Amino acid sequence: MPLSTISLHDKQFTPYLPAARIAEAVRNIATRLNQDYAGQQPLFVVVLNGSFMFAADLMKEMSIDCEVAFIRVASYQGTTSTGEVKEILGLQEEVANRHLIIVEDIVDTGHTMRELLEQLTARKPASLEVATLFTKPECLQHQLELRYVGIELPNEFIVGYGLDYDGLGRNYPDVYKVV
């Protein structure tokens, strides 16, 4: 069935990335993680709310022993980043000397990721990497090493597959861009 335009709040969104393309990107990230962390039992630190679909699909593809923890941060209001990171729900697991992989839906400005990397580095993990489904390289305002990236995107606001516009749109299996 062809995808159609959707309306969320006051904006229109057109089809952008089909679920099949997203699934391929998730499998590619999982393949690399399975190879790179074989025998190491990493802790995946999932950033809520946007990463829930990506994290669930990624975990289904993991063949290594691993654990999952969740944190929640916020830096968006409407369609733009506020530039201010607020930790809402913190990480309770001990992370010192553990291999950590931050699972993020999208890295655009890099404000949230920079803050997370700083906070987690202070807890002295054995290693710390980022697995992000999407990144917008032209939006990055911080030097970040993103080792596991699914899809690089231009600077367009997107919803679907966990990403939202003021709370709506997370439930779509495909990704849509604002008109």
Enumerate the active-site residues: 108
Residues listed for the chain: 179
CB count in 10 Å sphere of residue 20: 9
Calpha distance 115→121 (Å, rounded): 10
Contact assessment for residue 96 and residue 125, using Cβ atoms and an 8 Å cutoff: yes
Calpha distance 45→35 (Å, rounded): 19
Contact assessment for residue 62 and residue 37, using Cβ atoms and an 8 Å cutoff: no
Nearest residue to 54 (alpha-carbon basis) of 3, 123, 130, 144 = 130
| Radius of gyration in angstroms for the set of CA atoms belonging to the chain, rounded to a whole number | 16
Contact assessment for residue 41 and residue 65, using Cβ atoms and an 8 Å cutoff: yes
Q: Amino acid letter at 165?
A: Y
Contact assessment for residue 156 and residue 178, using Cβ atoms and an 8 Å cutoff: yes
